[in-house]
Structure 1
Amino acid sequence: MTAVYRLAAGLILAGMWHFRNYQNVPQRDAFVDTPLKVTTVASGLNVPWEMIWGPDDQLWLTEQSGTISRINPKTGEKTLLLKIDEVYRYRSLGLLGMAIHPDFRRKPFVFVDYMCKKDSLITTKLVRFTYKNNKLTDPKTLLEIPAHTGHNGSRLVFAPDGKLMFATGDAITITNAQNTKSLNGKVLRMNMDGTAPADNPIKGSLVWSWGHRNIQGLVYGTNGMLYASEHGDALEDELNIIQKGGNYGWPKVEGFCDQPAEKQFCDSVKIIEPIKSWTPTIAPAGIAFYNNSLFPEWKNAILLTTLKESDLRILKLDKTGKKIELETIVLDAQYGRLRDICVAPDGSIYVSTSNRDWNPATGFPKPADDQILRITPGKKGDTEPQTAALPAVPPGQRLYNQYCASCHKQNGEGVAEVFPPLKGTGQVKDKEQLIQIMLKGLSGKIEVNGKSYDQHMPAMAFLTDTQLAEIATYVRQSFGNQLDAVTEGEVKTVRSR
């Protein structure tokens, strides 16, 4: 696994950061030291989910609460273009993806997707608006598909040939992704009116690729390749290259074809494996392709924001664009969850935070959240390059932070109505029940201390008996709990049943 050193929060000075990749690689492949200047462009936003550099040299953005605006990157002035009243905002649902027609002068179209709810039915709508007199008008619904309380994907991007690509999630329905008759768990390709192009891989269908769980980032490189970042379950977040008619494996395959059941499936079905995967998961979000000279050492790289790890990753590609040679982290845990990223024509980089979403990190949101940040080169000599190792913590705490804290939080308080707290609950007190939940997962509504939670707890059976025992012991002896430890033998016994 690529070794990455994180930057120390206590060694930050005057808004400047340095980054350095410390892999043992030839000098020609190493990133050079560059100070980064980070400034705030806008604040007080409500989860800016999508950012695009507009045809007017302003930042166009969607906010999850249902507004489309543009922001002057020089002054931070915000202009409202549209408020969509039928947007259903709940947990990860709301107004999400957006794409602007590449020939905006002749075709002033803006495409967005969002969730709606009628009675108990939740759907995703793909709608085309027309830009007139500083407003978005004349909505035309191109597509409406089933949605759920999560896993709705929802990134949009234009292909070099002018077709619209739309990434959908599996809508928490395990059979959708491999079912080519379903439009969930797919990358869709369509004409501007929502119809299926004649050269799609399945005649008359919008489906371009399938086997996706929940794509969160979508971008074309200057090499013409379509890259996608995708959420795994408890392991194997992915970066993929999307190909026509490609099957990406979910739910039969997570990440690479390296487990016995996965190998058996891959022997009979052609699966496209990711060019990168992350375990423990990092919750990858928006991605951008960087090929500008402002940061010359970042040329030919995928820039990736993360939610769970709250950082920005530079994934340096090889000359073919099919392999990641280096991974470097910047902005590590300084601004909370990072949702999207946009590269301006001059090479400056804009990042949006996501701290007012349904699952904020401990300590967030801050009063200024959510924000749009600009990254530009700083002045050499402003700071010295700084690195520091993560503080040493017991194995159980380390594993809890990697696999559990993004949902149940570092303090064990959980998230109201979604993830239950871990203090004094029956599930934590009952040792065998706790082990069973960790091994097999738990989905759907449960009652904890008189309150209802609608959660998805993934199975963690891929961890060893020792690792599971360490996590369970940490939970039972933290957050105000004073319970006896869980042993490796106890986990082994429950696993064998």
Structure 2
Amino acid sequence: MIVQRPAVTAALTAAVLVLAAGCSSGGQDGTDHRESPAGRRSPSKSPTGGPGAQPPPTKGSAKVTRTLTTDLASPWGLAALPGGDLLVSSRDEGTITRVDATTGEKTELGAVPGVSPGGEGGLMGLALSPSYASDHMVYAYFTTESDNRVARLLYDEKKPPGEQLGAPDTVFKGIPKGMIHNGGRIAFGPDKMLYAGAGETGDTELAQDEKSLGGKILRLTPDGEPAPGNPFEGSPVYSLGHRNVQGLAWDEQKRLWASEFGQDTWDELNEIKAGGNYGWPEAEGKGGEKGFRDPVAQWKTSEASPSGIAYAEGSIWLAGLRGERLWRVPVRGVTGEREPQSFLKGEHGRLRTVLSAGGDKLWLVTSETDSRGTPKKGDDKILEVEVE
């Protein structure tokens, strides 16, 4: 059943977007083996890229130029403020912290009421309102005792640290929750609509159920209504057949990309089309099955487990959890096969989130755990990475 906030509608002119999806996850022990520490991938045959587009180099590069900050606890979501400073969420502590982009100094803004951490759930994705300059609203995706939901909070910089976050205003609720596969990434697209990756909670049947919010990419107005132009009338569902989407990014052609945790075989990078069915649980990886969209690139689950993704310098960059590396997939101007390329293998442990810092720079967030998969308290950092 779809449950959403009563309408607070404003007239919004929306251009229907294209593209993005993917995410890989779990073992059979109730944990997400993508969410635990190391695969191999097949070459990528991308159907994208327009005439005249200048493709990026076949072989790129990625170099860590500095460690911005350390001693973070279970960092998950990341959003850049207009001046360049960062907001980072703590999945397990339910707090949002501001990080100075120059000095790395951390200031805790406050806790988000109603967050109920557990398993892979908690306070996850962050996104700034398209009208942040005037409304100062921060959107957050988080797990409660009953569901996953999206709320917006007023960020008042004039108040003392610890009191700067207003009460959550729930704009969308009723997304299924579980100990695993809660999705959690949110982002505003070029059309100023809010996109959310929702996992299937380990109940694989939800992914193919058009009436369920589980195993989907959702497209909403900023007020939480189904966005104009969605493929299923009156529904927030934008694409289906997903296992656990934790990465969303757009390129300069306004194409949407998403990372997908596979189960035991293939992790995926998908180009998302409105109404597209990405196959789970009937298909995992490239199969050419009728009615399903194949991924643009795929990896063995031991080599990727991609969570966050970002677009920079003509390529999609994927942060690998179990794979403990940063993957690059060229997409701009690509008409034939391009081999995904990996960087930083094993150098910084598990990688959770990657965000464009403008130009050839990325912010990269680590996600260390102990041997049981429990986050190591205060052991994570944000790195600045120069890429080509």
TM-score range, shorter chain: 0.7 to 0.9
Corresponding pairs, count: 325
2:274 equivalent in structure 1:
244
User: Relative to total residues, which structure has the larger strand share, 1 or 2?
Assistant: 2
CA 1:85–1:108: 2 relative to 1, 3 Å? closer
Q: Normalization by structure 1: what TM-score?
A: 0.62
2:298 to 277, 287, 307: 277
1:162 to 192, 198, 204: 192
- Secondary structure at 2:298's aligned position in 1? strand
1:338 equivalent in structure 2:
351
Say what the alpha-carbon RMSD is for the aligned residues. 2.3
1:144 to 173, 176, 182: 173
CA 1:56–1:35: 2 relative to 1, 3 Å? closer
Q: Tell me by how many angstroms 1:211 deviates.
A: 0.5
1:124 to 142, 148, 172: 148
Counterparts of 1:159 and 1:228, CA distance in 2: 13
Gaps of 5+ in 1: 1-22, 291-298, 378-497
Q: Is 1:230 aligned to 2:260, yes or no?
A: yes
1:182 to 206, 212, 221: 212
CA 1:335–1:55: 2 relative to 1, 3 Å? same
Larger relative contact order (C-alpha < 8 A, sep ≥ 6)?
Answer: 2
2:67 equivalent in structure 1:
40
CA 1:198–1:74: 2 relative to 1, 3 Å? closer
- Secondary structure at 1:251's aligned position in 2? coil
Q: Tell me by how many angstroms 1:86 deviates.
A: 2.5
2:83 equivalent in structure 1:
56
Give the letter aligned to residue 94 of structure 1.
G
1:46 and 1:63 in contact (8 A); partners too: yes
1:317 and 1:324 in contact (8 A); partners too: no
2:20 equivalent in structure 1:
none
1:327 equivalent in structure 2:
340
Give the letter aligned to residue 79 of structure 2.
I
Counterparts of 2:94 and 2:155, CA distance in 1: 17
Alignment of 1:189-338 (within 5 A): 189-257=219-287, 263=289, 266=290, 270-281=291-302, 282-290=304-312, 299-320=313-334, 325-338=338-351
1:349 to 354, 359, 362: 362
Q: Deviations over 1:312-344 (max 9, x none)?
A: 112122405x76613221111011110001121
Q: Tell me by how many angstroms 1:53 deviates.
A: 1.8
Give the letter aligned to residue 163 of structure 1.
M
Q: Tell me by how many angstroms 1:180 deviates.
A: 0.6
Alignment of 1:377-416 (within 5 A): none
Q: Tell me by how many angstroms 1:37 deviates.
A: 4.0
- Secondary structure at 1:199's aligned position in 2? coil
Gaps of 5+ in 2: 1-42, 44-55, 159-163
Q: Deviations over 1:399-441 (max 9, x none)?
A: xxxxxxxxxxxxxxxxxxxxxxxxxxxxxxxxxxxxxxxxxxx
2:363 and 2:384 in contact (8 A); partners too: yes
User: Relative to total residues, which structure has the larger helix share, 1 or 2?
Assistant: 1
Q: Deviations over 1:191-232 (max 9, x none)?
A: 111111232111111111111000111111111011000001
Q: Tell me by how many angstroms 1:101 deviates.
A: 1.4
What is the aligned-residue identity percentage? 32
Counterparts of 1:43 and 1:306, CA distance in 2: 19
2:111 equivalent in structure 1:
83
- Secondary structure at 2:132's aligned position in 1? coil
- Secondary structure at 1:329's aligned position in 2? strand
